[in-house]
Structure formats: structure tokens, C-alpha cells
């Protein structure tokens, strides 16, 4: 259908529309009009992605000079591919309606592992190996060597792309990862470099967060993207952690040992080159003296990992004299390494700030701040000069150099914690140096500053106002949308007690209590008898799940559950869990029914949807608080309190509730779907917890569904499931939660729609 969104003609590739989609598009348009940033929360399964795409594409078509590019960031590879497929649907609709050929170029970009078509390289299993092998075939000096010595292997796909691929832009169309590969195979071009090159003139780019938020990668990939772009972060409820992770470094003793080997290799290589080809080193020295910027000369394939700090922090001056020659630099690295080793030899926990660390290093080994800042840059130059093929081997020394650069660049927002042993095992020495970022706004700041509109959206962003605070930006629109429902297809229940009236809680004091564990087991057992097909249960942590499973096994609860359903359990091993997941789906598919025991904050809870019969009930055992005893977390909480005036408890509860909402939200993926959401902890009944759940869940929690016993829960669930199992037709939805174009245009409906969005 064609919609009129405040004067903008929007093509929407479906015959019907949800009211909230319309409302969402209105808010989005206002954000774009204002050229500002927005925070939008809309329940999962209400067609967020297609609404976003429809509106922004329409905007781009209507005002090609205002918005030149859409950068769509999602979290996982399947998500990225889904977005591109939805986009394809939209574009097909455009072609059908307007009759003209689509002149849009949209493509997905992913790592080499997902795009490589070189037969040998792509058969490697891990992303790091693929990257390393690719580098060893495409680095400029390798290619130069190939020139003089044809037996030196190079990648024929890259050669072909380099020779002709850049002259003619890729024909317009929608390219998913597989399409890029097919296109690459057809032309004999490298799809990865083709995609990286093509994002510069593409209308729509879909890739993962890291390409924009991780400065090491963003500098390589996203540096030249136009300012007049709209950036969308989908599934953004965890964006602060992505930001923090990209700028934090951990150093263990093992890292340092491997570094030592790296440094030795470097030294030997320098020695060798000095004897054979001293001119090369002299050339490098000359270049450094002149202060030529590395980026200007380096080819795209040479840069393995870029500078870890943000572009505006990278110094625009020549590398200081003390580390200009290769030997001096290696000596410098050695000293730095020895210093770190000495620091790790302590027997008590140390926490200090960056300036303290710098002061200490200056006093102990006379290392200045300035050369440290250039460490990453200088190492990169050296590795390139030495023509080291297998760069993956040098990741420890790269890590150290990044640490050096980061610690000397940022004086605020970071903390250094050195722990000589793990808390659980104080007798076993395992020293770790955590250099952790505490301020997510550091990494995302350039994104907000550079692009005209940044939209942060997800199914669970409550409470909305906390995101602008921790990410430090001023949004022009903040809205939370509810799900209009013709039937209440979600049923959140808060179970607070067992049938024996013992309170259920994963609270630290009672979590090992037998009564609690038994009650949790009884809850699962009872539910397994009444819920059809799949049940997903989430625990607060992996260790807790292990303990509970063990005691359930001892008490024979698991065996009783097995009478009703098969049991699958998430393990720390991703491959094993994938298999369990697939078997779980198989068991749901063939009618046997299954239970998946999983962990909040785990991979399953973050990336896997349980549509329809794959998840008829989600049980959240306990409140998934983060492990609060960790020093890093404590430091971060302190920082949040001091800098953003966010109280520790508020943040912890917010963090726990967003993960709980994420977990239970996995089950509802649309209006035809239905599912139980069982919060098995009495603390959920409290207003401060309940209030932090997304509005679309909160509004279905009635006072009657607080602090239930297991029996009551079973009764309510039975009732709910029986109701939901009735046939659900389009006519039931039409006019309420599903609209035709005529219905949408009626005054009354527009009035109603305006109430869907709740401004924060």
C-alpha cells in the first residue's frame, strides 16, 4: 500500500499495516526532518525493520540531497541477512508499483569469513585464520613479490578485482552476502573488497555494530562514509556493552609470554633484514622522519588492525625520535613488556587510573607518554616494513601496543585493575591486568557527531531515558510504542511462591536453599505438563544453572520432566549448544515437545528467536543481575554515579531487567504468535523492577498476576493456552490491530494511533 506520512509518500510492501507501524514511521520521519537523533522502542514482531526501511527509503527517494545513505547496523549475521531480504521485498514492491527499474544499491557487509570465495582461504574455520590467510595473499609487498616471482601465491580474486573491479561500479540492486559471493564468483572478483569498496557509493549499507563502533575497524571500513547518512542501530539494547568491549583490553601472563616471543621474532627479523636489505629500514626511517601519514601510503589490504583510538585522538604529528629506528622501537617494546611483567607479579589487587599508571611507568622505566601514544602506529609500520606474512601470530604484541596507545591517550573514563588471582581460587596465581573502559559514550561519540541522524531502536529499551544518559547524547525524539492486540497473546505471570508458600527467589541468600530449588523444579515440571511444544527456561548464570540441574537430577525432578518433554541444555561450548538447539527445534517440530534450559546474557538469549511452537512459554528463573562482586563492574558503577548521576542500584536493576525482557521477549515474534512469560522470582512484583520492563509487557501485568503460587500459575496458564489455541483469523484482527488503507485513513483511527506512541 501507499501511505502518506505527513506529506511523504511511503511505499509499504504489504496489503495491511499494524497501527504501531504507522505511528513508528511518523516518529521516525520527525527525527529525520529535525536532522537529529532518536530513541524508539517497539515490541519485537511488529515489523520494526520493514517500517524503518520503508520510511527511510521513501525519504531518500524524496529528498536525495538531504539523506544520501542509510547505514543499518544489526547485531548478528542472520539479522543482517534478514534485513537485506526485507529490503529486497520492499524494492520489488517499488518496481512493481512504479514500473521503473530500481536504481538503488544496497548491500550487506560482513567479515571475510562470510564473504571469502577463495577455495583455500574460505575453508578455514575461524574468522581470525581467514583474515590472516587473506592478508598473506593480498598484502602489497606479497603482490610486489609476485610480480618478480610468479610462484609466490596471491589471491586471484583480489588481483582481478584490483585490476578491473573499481572502474565500473557494481550494478544497482540488492546484494545479500550470498548474492555478493555469487556476483564475485561470476566476475572472478573478491566479494569482500568489492563490498568494502562499494559501500562508499551504496545507498544502503547493512553491517554489524563493530564496523561503526570499534575504532580499530571503523577507521578502516567506515571512514569515508558520507555525513548525510542516517545510522540505525537495531536491537540496540546492549549497545553500551558493545562500545565498552571495543575499547577494553585484558592482559594475562600468557599474553606477555607470547609477546616475548613476538619481540624476539621481530628482533631476529630486523637483524636479518639489516644484513640483507638495510635500505628498506632506512627508507622506513626516512618516511617516519618526514612524518608521512601511514594511511596515505598504505594500501587497503595492508592494514590489519587500525589504530585503537578514535580518529580525532590520533595525533597528526611525526612519530617521536626515540622510537623511529626499528631497533630503538624493539628496545622500547622490551622495556614496556618488562614493566608490565613486573606489574603482574604483585600479590594484592591494584586499581589505578590512567594518569597514575603513566606516572608510575615514567618513574620506573622512564617511558614517556608521547612514544606510548604512537606505539600502535609505529608497530604497524614496522610489521609492514618487515613484510611479516602471518600477522595473526602477532596479535599479542598488537594487543600490547593498543593498550599502550589507549592508556596514554585517554585520561578519563578508563580504569586499570590488576588482579593477582581469581576470587574463587585465591591460591592459584593467575594475574590479569584489566584495562577497562567505563564510559560507553567515548566509543559512540564520533558516530553521533559525524552523522546527521542516529536512530537507536529495539524491542526492549526501557527505561528510555537511561540510554541518552549513558551514551551522552541529546535525542530529538524518544518514544515507546505498545503492541495493539486483538487478543492478548502474551501472558506475563510473576510467580513468587511455591505451593508450600516458600518464597521463590534467586536472591543470593536463598539461591542455594533446597526449598527454592525444589520449587523451581516443580514449576518447570508442572509447566512441562500443560504447555504444548517448546518451553525455554533461562537461568541467571551458567554456574547457577549447573547447580540447579545437578540437584534436580538428584531429586529426580528431571526424570519426571522427561516424561513430558525432552530436555536440552545450553553449554559453554557454542557448537554443542547449536546442536542442542537444532535438536530442540526438531523435537518441537515433530510434536514431542522439548525444554531448553538456557542462560540469560548467553548466546541463545541474545541471538535466537523462538517463534510460535518453538517457544510457547518462557520461564525466567530469578532476576539476571550481573555478577556484582566484580571489580570492573564496581568501578563502572562508581563512574556512572560520579559522571552521570545514575545510582548503582538503578543501573543494576535496569541492566537485569533489560536482560530479563530480552529473554522473555524471545517467545513473542508477532501478533499471530502467543506465549507465556513466567517471571519466577518474587522480586519482579516490586514496582521498581516491574516498572523497568518494556511498556508492551508491563501493561499486561495485572495486579492479579503478581506473586502467584505455582498452582495459580498453572491454572492461569491453562486458561490462557486454551484460549490462544482457538483459531485466529485475519477478520479478528482487522480494524483493531491490523488496518487496511481505508481504515488507516479514518479520523478516528488516526486519533487512536497518536496515542500509541508514548513520549518519554
Partner 1 sequence: MAALSEEVLLVVKRVRQRKQDGTLYLMTERIAWGPEGKDRFTVSHLYADIRCQKISPDGKSKIQLQLVLHTGESTTFHFANESTALKDRDAAKDLLQQLLPKFKKKANKQLEEKNKMLQEDPVLFQLYKDLVVSQVISAEEFWASRLKLSSVEHSLSNNSKQEVGISAAFLADIRPQTDGCNGLKYNLTSDIIESIFKTYPAVKQKYAENVPHNLTEKEFWTRFFQSHYFHRDRINTGQQDIFSECAKQDEKGLKSMVVQGVKNPMVDLLSLEDKTLDEGYGSLTVGPNSSKTVKENSNSAIIKRFNHHSAMVLAAGLRKVILVYWKFNKFYPELNLLFMNRDAPSDQASETSSTDGNSRDSDFFQPPIKKVKLQEAIEYEDLQNGSGPKTIALNLKKSDRYSHGPVPLQSHHYSTSQDIINSVSCIQEEISCYKPCLTRVMPSSAASSAITALSPGGLLMQAGTQQAVSQLVPTDVQSELKHLYTAAGELLRHFWSCFPVNTPFLEEKVVKMRSNLERFQSTKLRPFQEKIQREYLSTNLTSHLDEMIQAAYNKFHAWQTRRMARKT
Give, as ranges, the residues between 624 and 653 that touch partner 1 (CB under 8 A): 632
Work out how close the CB of 511 gets to partner 1 at its nearest, in angstroms, rounded to a whole number: 15
Whole-angstrom distance, CA of residue 549 vs CA of residue 325: 59
Site for partner 1 in 430-449 (CB under 8 A): 430, 432, 434, 436-437
Site for partner 1 in 358-397 (CB under 8 A): 395-396
- Give the contact letters, 655-684, x = binds to partner 1 (CB under 8 A), - = no: ---------------xxx------------
- Asked whether position 529 contacts partner 1 by CB under 8 A, the answer is no
- Asked whether position 81 contacts partner 1 by CB under 8 A, the answer is yes
- Count residues binding partner 1 (CB under 8 A): 103
The cell for 88 is 529486497
Work out how close the CB of 149 gets to partner 1 at its nearest, in angstroms, rounded to a whole number: 28
Map grid coordinates 492478548 to a residue: 488
Whole-angstrom distance, CA of residue 548 vs CA of residue 289: 63
Nearer to partner 1 by Cβ, of 86 and 712: the residue is 86
Whole-angstrom distance, CA of residue 246 vs CA of residue 412: 16
Which residue stretch of 496-504, 587-595, 640-648, 711-719 sits at the interface with partner 1 (rule: CB under 8 A)?
Answer: 587-595
Buried b (16+ CB within 10 A) or exposed e, 98-119: eeeeeebbbbbbbbbbbbbbbe
Whole-angstrom distance, CA of residue 82 vs CA of residue 86: 6
Name, in order, each residue with C-beta under 8 angstroms of 264's C-beta and a sequence gap of 6 or more: none
Question: Residues 583, 589, 592, CA angle at the centre, nearest 5°?
Answer: 80
Site for partner 1 in 27-66 (CB under 8 A): 47, 49-50
Which residue stretch of 162-170, 291-299, 328-336, 427-435 sits at the interface with partner 1 (rule: CB under 8 A)?
Answer: 427-435
Site for partner 1 in 704-733 (CB under 8 A): 730, 733
Is 456 in contact with 243 (CB distance < 8 Å)?
no
Site for partner 1 in 310-339 (CB under 8 A): none
Which of 534, 592, 521, 459 is CA-nearest to residue 721? Answer: 534
Candidates 365, 574, 688, 725: give the one binding partner 1 (CB under 8 A): 574
Nearer to partner 1 by Cβ, of 82 and 752: the residue is 82
Nearer to partner 1 by Cβ, of 395 and 510: the residue is 395
Site for partner 1 in 600-619 (CB under 8 A): 603-604, 607-609
Nearer to partner 1 by Cβ, of 396 and 694: the residue is 396
Looking at residue 366, the DSSP 8-state letter turns out to be -
- Asked whether position 555 contacts partner 1 by CB under 8 A, the answer is no
Work out how close the CB of 596 gets to partner 1 at its nearest, in angstroms, rounded to a whole number: 10
Candidates 104, 211, 621, 654: give the one binding partner 1 (CB under 8 A): 211
- Asked whether position 289 contacts partner 1 by CB under 8 A, the answer is no
Work out how close the CB of 755 gets to partner 1 at its nearest, in angstroms, rounded to a whole number: 22
Work out how close the CB of 38 gets to partner 1 at its nearest, in angstroms, rounded to a whole number: 23
Residue 658's H or E segment, with its range, is helix 648-665
What is the DSSP code string of 264-325? HHHHHHHHHHHHH-HHHHHHHHHHHHHT--HHHHS-TTT-SS--SS-GGGS--SPPPGGGTS
Name, in order, each residue with C-beta under 8 angstroms of 275's C-beta and a sequence gap of 6 or more: none
- Asked whether position 558 contacts partner 1 by CB under 8 A, the answer is yes
Work out how close the CB of 145 gets to partner 1 at its nearest, in angstroms, rounded to a whole number: 27
The cell for 406 is 589507549
Nearer to partner 1 by Cβ, of 537 and 738: the residue is 738
Site for partner 1 in 127-186 (CB under 8 A): 127-128, 178
Whole-angstrom distance, CA of residue 242 vs CA of residue 624: 19
- Asked whether position 214 contacts partner 1 by CB under 8 A, the answer is yes
- Asked whether position 582 contacts partner 1 by CB under 8 A, the answer is yes
- Asked whether position 562 contacts partner 1 by CB under 8 A, the answer is yes
Work out how close the CB of 190 gets to partner 1 at its nearest, in angstroms, rounded to a whole number: 16
Candidates 142, 479, 587, 710: give the one binding partner 1 (CB under 8 A): 587
The cell for 273 is 633484514
- On the question of a cis peptide bond just before residue 463, with omega within 30 degrees of 0, the verdict is yes
Q: What is the CB-side half-sphere exposure of residue 47 using CA atoms within 13 A?
A: 25
Which residue stretch of 55-63, 71-79, 164-172, 616-624 sits at the interface with partner 1 (rule: CB under 8 A)?
Answer: 71-79
Question: Residues 338, 343, 348, CA angle at the centre, nearest 5°?
Answer: 160
Work out how close the CB of 545 gets to partner 1 at its nearest, in angstroms, rounded to a whole number: 8
- Asked whether position 14 contacts partner 1 by CB under 8 A, the answer is yes
In this structure, the chain runs to a length of: 760
Work out how close the CB of 400 gets to partner 1 at its nearest, in angstroms, rounded to a whole number: 9
3-class DSSP state for residue 739? strand
Whole-angstrom distance, CA of residue 710 vs CA of residue 214: 46
The CA-based dihedral angle spanning residues 609, 611, 616, 618, taken in that order and rounded to the nearest 10 degrees: 20
Work out how close the CB of 682 gets to partner 1 at its nearest, in angstroms, rounded to a whole number: 26
- Asked whether position 92 contacts partner 1 by CB under 8 A, the answer is no
Site for partner 1 in 463-482 (CB under 8 A): none
The cell for 383 is 610489521
The cell for 48 is 520494526
The cell for 320 is 617521536
Work out how close the CB of 347 gets to partner 1 at its nearest, in angstroms, rounded to a whole number: 18
Distances, alpha carbon 232 to alpha carbons 31, 281, 454, in Å: 12, 45, 6
Site for partner 1 in 215-254 (CB under 8 A): 217, 241, 244-246, 248-252
Amino acid at each position: 500500500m501507499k501511505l502518506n506520512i505527513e506529506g511523504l509518500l511511503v511505499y509499504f510492501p504489504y496489503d495491511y499495516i499494524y497501527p504501531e507501524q504507522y505511528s513508528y514511521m511518523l516518529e521516525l520521519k520527525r527525527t529525520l526532518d529535525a536532522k537529529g537523533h532518536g530513541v524508539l522502542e517497539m515490541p519485537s514482531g511488529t515489523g520494526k525493520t520493514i517500517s524503518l526501511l520503508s520510511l527511510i527509503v521513501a525519504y531518500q527517494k524524496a529528498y536525495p540531497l538531504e539523506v544520501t545513505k542509510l547505514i543499518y547496523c544489526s547485531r548478528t549475521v542472520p539479522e543482517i541477512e534478514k534485513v537485506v531480504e526485507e529490503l529486497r521485498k520492499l524494492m520489488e514492491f517499488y518496481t512493481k508499483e512504479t514500473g521503473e527499474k530500481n536504481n538503488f544499491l544496497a548491500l550487506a557487509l560482513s567479515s571475510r569469513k562470510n564473504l571469502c570465495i577463495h577455495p583455500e582461504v574460505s575453508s578455514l574455520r575461524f574468522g581470525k585464520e581467514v583474515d590472516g590467510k587473506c592478508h598473506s595473499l593480498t598484502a602489497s609487498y606479497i603482490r610486489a613479490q609476485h610480480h618478480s616471482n610468479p610462484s609466490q601465491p596471491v589471491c586471484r580474486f583480489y588481483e582481478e578485482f584490483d585490476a578491473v573491479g573499481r572502474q565500473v561500479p557494481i550494478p544497482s540492486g540488492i546484494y545479500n552476502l550470498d548474492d555478493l559471493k555469487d556476483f564475485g564468483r561470476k566476475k572472478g572478483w573478491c566479494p569482500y573488497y568489492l563490498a568494502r569498496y562499494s559501500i562508499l557509493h551504496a545507498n544502503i549499507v547493512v553491517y554489524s555494530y563493530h564496523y561503526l563502533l570499534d575504532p580499530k575497524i571503523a577507521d578502516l571500513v567506515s571512514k569515508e562514509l558520507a555525513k548525510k547518512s542516517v545510522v540505525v542501530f537495531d536491537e540496540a539494547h546492549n549497545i553500551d556493552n558493545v562500545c565498552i568491549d571495543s575499547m577494553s583490553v585484558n592482559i594475562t601472563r600468557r599474553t606477555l609470554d607470547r609477546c616475548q616471543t613476538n619481540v624476539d621474532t621481530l628482533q631476529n627479523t630486523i637483524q636479518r633484514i639489516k644484513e640483507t636489505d638495510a635500505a628498506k629500514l632506512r627508507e622506513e626511517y626516512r618516511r617516519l622522519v618526514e612524518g608521512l601519514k601511514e594511511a596515505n601510503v598504505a594500501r587497503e589490504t595492508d592494514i590489519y588492525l587500525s589504530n585503537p583510538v578514535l580518529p580525532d585522538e590520533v595525533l597528526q604529528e611525526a612519530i617521536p625520535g626515540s622510537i623511529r629506528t626499528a631497533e630503538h622501537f624493539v628496545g622500547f617494546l622490551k622495556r614496556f613488556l618488562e614493566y608490565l611483567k613486573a606489574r603482574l607479579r604483585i600479590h594484592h589487587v591494584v586499581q589505578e587510573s590512567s594518569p597514575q599508571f603513566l606516572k608510575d611507568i615514567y618513574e620506573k622505566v622512564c617511558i614517556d607518554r608521547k612514544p606510548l601514544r604512537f606505539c600502535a602506529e609505529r608497530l604497524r609500520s614496522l610489521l609492514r616494513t618487515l613484510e611479516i606474512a602471518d600477522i595473526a601470530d602477532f596479535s599479542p604484541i598488537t594487543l600490547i601496543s593498543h593498550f599502550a596507545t589507549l592508556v596514554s591517550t585517554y585520561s578519563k573514563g578508563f580504569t586499570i585493575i590488576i588482579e593477582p588471582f581469581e576470587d574463587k581460587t585465591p591460591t592459584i596465581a593467575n594475574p590479569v591486568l584489566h584495562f577497562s573502559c567505563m564510559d560507553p559514550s567515548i566509543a559512540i561519540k564520533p558516530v553521533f557527531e559525524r552523522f546527521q541522524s542516529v536512530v537507536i531502536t529495539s524491542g526492549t529499551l526501557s527505561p528510555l531515558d537511561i540510554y541518552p544518559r549513558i551514551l551522552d547524547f541529546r535525542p530529538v525524539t524518544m518514544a515507546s510504542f505498545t503492541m495493539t492486540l486483538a487478543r492478548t497473546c502474551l501472558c506475563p505471570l510473576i510467580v513468587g511462591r511455591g505451593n508450600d508458600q516458600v518464597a521463590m527467589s534467586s536472591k543470593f541468600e536463598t539461591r542455594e536453599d533446597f526449598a527454592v530449588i525444589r520449587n523451581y523444579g516443580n514449576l518447570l515440571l508442572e509447566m512441562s505438563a500443560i504447555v504444548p511444544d517448546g518451553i525455554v527456561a533461562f537461568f541467571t548464570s551458567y554456574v547457577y544453572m549447573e547447580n540447579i540441574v545437578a540437584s534436580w537430577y538428584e531429586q529426580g525432578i528431571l526424570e519426571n520432566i522427561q516424561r513430558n518433554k525432552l530436555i536440552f541444555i545450553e553449554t559453554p561450548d557454542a557448537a554443542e549448544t547449536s546442536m542442542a538447539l537444532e535438536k530442540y527445534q526438531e523435537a518441537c517440530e515433530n510434536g514431542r515437545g522439548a525444554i531448553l534450559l538456557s542462560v540469560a546474557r548467553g548466546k541463545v538469549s541474545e541471538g535466537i528467536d523462538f517463534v510460535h511452537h518453538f517457544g510457547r512459554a518462557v520461564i525466567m528463573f530469578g532476576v539476571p543481575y550481573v555478577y556484582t562482586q566484580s571489580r570492573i563492574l564496581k568501578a563502572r558503577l562508581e563512574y556512572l554515579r560520579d559522571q552521570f548521576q545514575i545510582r548503582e542500584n538503578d543501573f543494576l536493576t535496569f541492566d537485569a531487567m533489560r536482560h530479563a525482557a530480552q529473554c522473555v521477549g524471545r517467545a513473542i515474534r508477532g501478533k499471530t504468535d502467543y506465549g507465556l512469560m513466567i517471571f519466577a522470582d518474587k522480586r519482579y512484583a516490586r514496582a521498581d523492577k516491574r516498572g523497568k520492563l518494556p511498556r508492551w509487557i508491563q501493561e499486561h501485568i495485572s495486579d492479579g498476576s503478581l506473586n502467584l503460587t505455582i498452582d495459580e500459575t498453572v491454572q492461569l496458564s491453562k486458561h490462557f493456552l486454551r484460549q490462544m489455541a482457538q483459531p485466529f483469523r485475519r477478520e479478528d484482527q482487522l480494524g483493531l490491530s491490523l488496518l487496511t488503507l481505508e481504515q488507516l485513513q479514518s479520523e478516528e483511527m488516526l486519533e487512536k494511533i497518536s496515542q500509541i506512541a508514548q513520549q518519554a
